[in-house]
Structure 1
């Protein structure tokens, strides 16, 4: 299989090209990667960051194609831009460019899988099932192509698009390294966030390997019966085991763990949740990100109204932890996570 230039570290590229009997100094590989990933240029034949014989070997033996852009939708309210890309094997990939509070700055929400195997009850992507893991180059290409379409600075990346990032652990970590490398896309590692619904063995591995990227854990409910129904993975890795993994991560990092809470009307905004959360993470420092559920006709869940949201926030105050309200993007244009690809999958099924 021909390796893609976007999926190779400088060390990988050196090893690969030297296999053809062509000497390739590491500093030249880093210069080439900085030109392609950092500067966003594929014209290295013209710019010549490496000598001609190496250029020929790379062109002959490395793929450099991009993802096909199928659809681009801008939300009229929050100004997020959602992209639907297509890989050469017709796999559909969603990516979102999210404007940040600082004018001219953006973050890219990346997909790690096509579809998802976790089956979260409130998630449009979870209803598709898992098609396949994305390759390293497909993850990096999302960032590279969105950056090339954006007027402003892409200063962050979040693995919170389609898929469970830790279910594609190795590819996600390697992609994050390429995104953060000084000779790669040059995103500050502290501005790269990887989310998970709670795959305990992978969280433990992540903690042991001590990666510099931020981890955010989607808790959503601290009541066992509710979380089992909302996030089926909780039946395999119960809340008690997840809490132990969260605590170990907090101790290793010496910082508060970020927990995501997808807020749903009449489901997970009561005093029972706060009491359960207090008991579950009594000795663990954490902060809570409240995120409104994406309204989707298929999942039957609705956003909490302002009164319910404020009441929940008042009860949460007794935990004495930082609470941040995050806003879902793309909902006004019906392009919230999983919706574009979901619609496209349905169109394809109807056409068959």
Structure 2
């Protein structure tokens, strides 16, 4: 059994083929897609967070709205860039969203990926401390977020408050019990996956990571997951770890599928260079008729190692088509691979 969710980048734009012409379109359709996905048995609705772009950026209003209109589907992010965040204010937002959803928030955070503008976090008022780079700043803020999320009081109360205070130091409100145990870290390397395990976070591994061995992407990602699980065990955590991987997977079952994604069938892993001249490997997309797709996915070692699979969806093609994409996976692929 495997949990299956969708991951939306939340694009919009003035393009004649887009069903999402505006931010309003994308936000409202994201809610509709989550409701529809729950009805066909999808387990999770996850959203990317990018700043300074025509994409989803402020996740908590969206997640709260989805939480209020659904009953069982997990809601989450993949990922929130902690370089841009105020950890304390984020705790209040996350606590509210989790309470509204009845404890279904699965919050993915990270140090972030290359952004639309140079050092965009500076515009948000954040600077690395002396001797610290932006990645270290992101991890430091993540640890502060985790610490304060425990719900232990840390702030000295005013002796003359507007409203009566409980005894002792004050914590942030609203507090949502259990949310600390549902935080995920988006790791782009083996080292940060181990760091996530040591700090009691679940692991999100996307379709790109540092090329650390020259092996195929899915093999490197599987190795990363195994290192994470070993580190989790060594850290002595009492609960079971969770791991998600994301993939672009399309079952070609009609002419429109072939028109949109038939060219993806021959795609391979790609090697590139991102910030700081790091050699990076990008995982392939999968697109084929269901019987062939099942055979290809059965060879993906990382999917086998993960308990959760996030299917990246082409949100600009609209709710109805994305429900079709997800339904095809649930009907033709998931049962054959033992995911359902």
Whether the TM-score (by the shorter chain) exceeds 0.5 is no
Which has the higher Rg, Structure 1 or Structure 2?
A: 1
- What is the TM-score of this pair, normalised by structure 2? 0.41
